[in-house]
């Protein structure tokens, strides 16, 4: 881990939350951190300069999608993933494990790897643990993931255990494969919504000697209570000194509950995907900006928000752009939604550094709608085993 160092700056005495910095070859990542997802090496509707101005420190892309288009040889010819993306900060690539789940009708698993039928043209693409390491070496992201199987949220125990065992076998091969020295490989914990499998997976993944860890296969159909139970079971088995990433989980309340459980980074397509359908994230919940009620509203989307969208555009203007099919409508909502999520994460980080997380936690429990979300935020996380 010579190119990487994880520094913990502060801890919350009442939970597992911590604030730190993950030092990488392309710059520091203040944690806890939110990673906007740029699946195809671009965050839809938000150019790199805007990402920087919003405070983004690291971007997530997807190895499966980039392998299909433009292909690893094209990425290398263009100078690598950072050059392709026009992004000089840290980058992470996901392994394609979620595609093993989401494209189940287009893939075939075996002990050696997985075959995909491209969703673009039906062509065959095969991943093995070793080929995925070579693919991500060619792409050149700073933070990388091994091949894994993301089980469905409702997977029965036998299915989840078989897929968890396959993930562990692939993880052992990935960590033994030839890799670049300037990439940090995360071990991925699986086990669906079965806490005992999460414990077994975390223990076995830790035993393989990874220097960073990710928890995958959550928020894929199970209840939020089941998500937290699985997370609680896994996190106490992971080494305290290593960075921890929560894959594909990123609703506002999930940030709070995840940070309280010692998660250091999160990625999710939700803020940008919601924006493209006309949705705005607010403290009062999601707002559909296509609704007619906004047509002549001169007020900003959120009077208390300092993002460029809320400083310069009215609700009525945003609705007009959306209804007229103008790209600007989705772009404005993308900027706002990313700002909303990034500020939430910044508030959590600063509260940990200032020793005020208990106070901020209670405020967020009320601001995020009360009810079930408030109960989950108030639920005490487990004590770290060490």
Please indicate, yes or no, if residue 132 is contained in any of the structural domains: yes
Residue among 94, 148, 232, 302 flagged as catalytic: 94
Q: At 209, is the secondary structure helix, strand, or coil?
A: coil
Q: Is 63 inside a domain boundary? A: yes
282 shares a domain with 254 = no
Assess if residue 304 is contained within a domain: yes
The answer to whether residue 385 sits within a structural domain is: no
Cis peptide upstream of residue 374 (ω within 30 degrees of 0): no
Residue 98 pLDDT? 74
Q: Is residue 345 part of a domain?
A: no
pLDDT at 101: 65
- How many domains is the chain partitioned into structurally? 2
What pLDDT, on the 0 to 100 scale, is given for residue 49? 98
Whether 193 and 332 map to the same domain: the answer is no
- Domain of residue 212, CATH code: 3.20.20.105
Instruction: Using 50 as the pLDDT threshold, list the residues of the chain that sit under it.
Output: 1, 384-386
Residue 254 and residue 376 in contact, taking contact as beta carbons nearer than 8 Å:
no
Query: Are residues 100 and 144 both part of a single domain?
Result: yes
DSSP class per residue in 233-271: HHHTTS-TTS-EEETT--SHHHHHHHHHTT--EEEESHH
**Same-domain pairing of 253 and 320:** no
On whether both 326 and 368 belong to a single domain, the answer is no
pLDDT given at position 159: 96
Task: State residue 1's pLDDT score.
Answer: 45
Residues 254 and 289 in one domain: no
- 62 lies in the same domain as 127: yes
Structural domain including 33 reads 5-268+356-378
Q: At what angle do helices 252-260 and 357-367 cross, to 10 degrees?
A: 150
The catalytically annotated residue of 142, 148, 267, 302 is: 267
Whether 290 and 243 share a structural domain: no
Strand partners of residue 7: 21
pLDDT for res 384: 47
Whether residues 104 and 145 share a domain: the answer is yes
267 carries an active-site annotation: yes
Taken in order 59, 63, 68, 71, the sign of the CA dihedral is positive
349 lies in some domain? no
Looking at the fold, whether 112 and 205 belong to one and the same domain comes out as yes
Position 382 scores a pLDDT of 61
Residues 212 and 100 in one domain: yes
Active-site residue, 94 included:
yes
Residues 133 and 237 both lie in one domain: yes
Is 348 among the domain residues? no
The reply to whether 252 falls in a domain is yes
- Write the pLDDT tens digit of every residue in 298-326: 999 999 999 999 999 999 999 999 999 99
CA distance 317 to 297: 8
CA 16 from chain center: how many Å? Answer: 19
């Amino acid at each position: 881990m010579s190119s990487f160092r994880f520094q913990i700056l502060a801890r919350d005495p009442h939970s597992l939350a911590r604030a730190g910095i993950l030092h990488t070859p392309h710059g520091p990542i203040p944690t806890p951190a939110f990673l906007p997802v740029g699946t195809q090496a671009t965050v839809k509707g938000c150019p790199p300069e805007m990402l920087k101005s919003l405070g983004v420190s690291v971007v997530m892309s997807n190895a499966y999608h980039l392998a299909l288009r433009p292909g690893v040889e094209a990425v290398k010819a263009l100078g690598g993933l950072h050059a392709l993306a026009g992004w000089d900060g840290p980058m992470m690539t996901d392994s394609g494990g979620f595609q093993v789940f989401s494209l189940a009708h287009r893939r075939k698993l075996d002990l050696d790897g997985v075959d995909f039928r491209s969703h673009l043209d039906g062509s065959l693409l095969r991943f093995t643990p070793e080929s995925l390491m070579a693919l991500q070496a060619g792409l050149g992201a700073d933070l990388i993931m091994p091949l894994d199987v993301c089980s469905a949220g409702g997977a029965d125990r036998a299915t989840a255990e078989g897929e968890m065992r396959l993930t562990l076998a692939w993880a052992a091969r990935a960590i033994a494969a030839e890799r670049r020295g300037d990439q940090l490989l995360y071990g991925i914990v699986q086990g669906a919504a079965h806490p005992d499998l999460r414990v077994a997976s975390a223990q076995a993944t830790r035993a393989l000697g990874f220097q960073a860890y990710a928890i995958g296969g959550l928020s894929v159909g199970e209840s939020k209570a089941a998500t937290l139970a699985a997370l609680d079971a896994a996190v106490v088995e992971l080494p305290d000194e290593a960075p921890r990433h929560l894959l594909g989980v990123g609703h506002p309340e999930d940030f709070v509950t995840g940070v309280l459980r010692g998660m250091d980074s999160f990625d999710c397509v939700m803020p940008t995907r919601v924006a493209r359908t006309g949705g705005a994230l607010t403290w009062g919940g999601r707002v559909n900006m296509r609704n007619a009620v906004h047509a002549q509203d001169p007020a900003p989307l959120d009077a208390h928000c300092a993002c460029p969208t809320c400083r310069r555009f009215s609700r009525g203007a945003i609705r007009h752009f959306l209804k007229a099919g103008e790209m600007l409508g989705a772009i404005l909502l993308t900027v706002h939604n990313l700002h909303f999520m990034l500020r939430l994460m910044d508030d959590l980080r600063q509260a940990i550094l200032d020793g005020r997380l208990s106070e901020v936690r209670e405020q967020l429990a009320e601001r995020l709608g009360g009810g079930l979300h408030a109960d989950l935020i108030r639920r005490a996380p487990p004590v770290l085993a060490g």
